[in-house]
Amino acid sequence: MKIALLQPFTIERNVSMREDILKASDLKTTKNRLAILNILDASSGPMTAEEVYSIVAKEVQMSLSTAYRTLGTLSDKGILLKNLSQDGKTYYQFNNHQHKHQLVCTMCSETISIDDCPLTCMEETLIRRTGFIITGHSLEFLGICPKCTGGIKE
Amino acid sequence: MKIALLQPFTIERNVSMREDILKASDLKTTKNRLAILNILDASSGPMTAEEVYSIVAKEVQMSLSTAYRTLGTLSDKGILLKNLSQDGKTYYQFNNHQHKHQLVCTMCSETISIDDCPLTCMEETLIRRTGFIITGHSLEFLGICPKCTGGIKE
DNA sequence: GTAACTGCAAATCTTTTGCACCGAA
DNA sequence: TTCGGTGCAAAAGATTTGCAGTTAC
């Protein structure tokens, strides 16, 4: 019973945190936006619009184009990171300055998240050399996972 | 006059080198394929299918779908590197083990090639940790170039 | 001669957009 | 009340594909 009560409390707290995030970016608080932030917050890695949509659609009524528009808006505001992957789909993740990259198996699509990003140092070099302001980067590794390697003749 | 003669000789030599490349991959030698290899070899960085096509179409008669098919085939054989960029277009470059990444201005699309790739060391770590065979990676930096920075109010 | 290559047009897939309606502030 | 947000359907843009004709070997 105590545990049952704990859950709603946590959700409530998160909801108000997310309202603050939206308010700070001059965005109206809507069921749809909260639901999307909710799902991405719970996710362990980047998700496609389609994935977000298929989960969110179970909770609230939302069209796919709204999912795209919302994800786009949140990315423009810097709340999310947006990233076109080698599979042709765009992945979204919370921009919490602890972003992740992916290692994807080209045979079965198994995906592993890479926690540490080695590019900060390289960005500093680029800034010095080019005068660019660096606003982001995309990095993805492709390979063949151990399960699939088993099937390759040597 | 001597210089004028030098050029055809060089082209001849390159053509036969490219025939060897195709033969080694069990691909027939066609005007189209030679033209595409030619253009990518002369290019200083990765090119889109559209760019390759628009240049190649001046020299030989070729359809856009053939350009796509040829670039795809050459990539499958490992002759080219294929890379979906954050702008939604696929870029192709010679796979000469000296591949380049790009730094792209999100305002004017000015693009700078990055010659040294810092990822080899990271790939070794990933191999150890995940058991994947790493077959490739994509890396791209986005930013705002000095020309465009001038327009931003501080 | 035959399998591989090519051109054309149509299809595919993801993402974006126009427009009319709806809802948060 | 008023913009901004949303749904629907249609458009967009890059790439792929089916099929019939052509070419390298």
Residues B66 and B121 in one domain: no
Residues 44-73 of A with CB under 7 A from strand C: 48-50, 64-65, 68-69, 72
Give the separation between CA A67 and CA A75, rounded to whole angstroms: 12
Domain that holds residue B39: 15-94
User: How crowded is the C-beta side of B83, counted as CA atoms within 13 Å?
Assistant: 26
Question: Looking at the domain assignment, is residue B151 inside a domain?
Answer: no
One-character DSSP codes across A72-141: HHHHHTTSEEEEE-TTS-EEEEE-SS---EEEEETTT--EEEE---TTHHHHHHHHHHH-PEEEEEEEEE
Task: Express each pLDDT in A52-91 by its tens digit.
Answer: 999 999 989 999 999 999 999 999 999 999 999 999 999 9
Same domain? For A125 and A139 the reply is yes
Residues B90, B53 share a domain? yes
Give the distance, in angstroms, between residue A73 CA and nucleotide C18 C1'.
Answer: 18
The pLDDT confidence band at residue B88, using thresholds 50, 70 and 90, is very high
Same domain, A22 and A71: yes
Within this chain, do residues B28 and B72 fall inside the same structural domain, yes or no? Answer: yes
Q: Using the beta-carbon criterion (under 8 Å), do B84 and A83 form an inter-chain contact?
A: no
Here the CATH number for the domain that contains residue A135 is 3.30.1490.190
Q: Token pair 């949509």 is at which residue?
A: A53
State yes or no: A137 annotated in a binding site. Answer: yes
Q: Are A79 and A105 within one domain? A: no
pLDDT single digits (tens) B142-154: 877 777 776 544 4
Distance, CA of A47 to CA of A65 (rounded, Å):
16
Task: Kindly state whether residues A105 and A88 are assigned to the same domain.
Answer: no
Number of folded domains that form chain A: 2
Q: Same domain for A58 and A23?
A: yes
Give the closest nucleotide to A89 (alpha carbon vs C1'): C14
Residues B112 and B131 in one domain: yes
pLDDT, tens only, B21-46 = 889 899 999 999 999 999 999 988 89
CATH number, domain with residue B69: 1.10.10.10
- Closest chain A residue to B89 measured between Cα atoms? A88
Do A101 and A116 form a contact (C-beta atoms < 8 A)?
A: no
Question: Across all residues in chain B, what is the average pLDDT?
Answer: 81
Identify the pLDDT of residue A13. 54
- Is the domain of B61 the same as that of B105? no
Which residues in window 101-140 of A are less than 7 A from strand C by Cβ?
Answer: none
Q: How far apart are CA B49 and CA B108, in angstroms?
A: 21
Residue B8 lies inside a defined structural domain of this protein: no
Residue of B nearest to A128 (CA): B146
Cross-chain residue pair A132–B126, CB shorter than 8 Å:
no
> What is the value of pTM for the model shown?
0.82
What is the pLDDT at residue B36?
97
Q: Which residues of chain A have pLDDT under 70?
A: 1-15, 97, 116, 121, 150-154
Cβ within 8 Å, pair B141-A131 = no
- Does residue B7 lie in a domain region? no
Same domain, B33 and B87: yes
CB atoms within 10 A of CB B145: 21
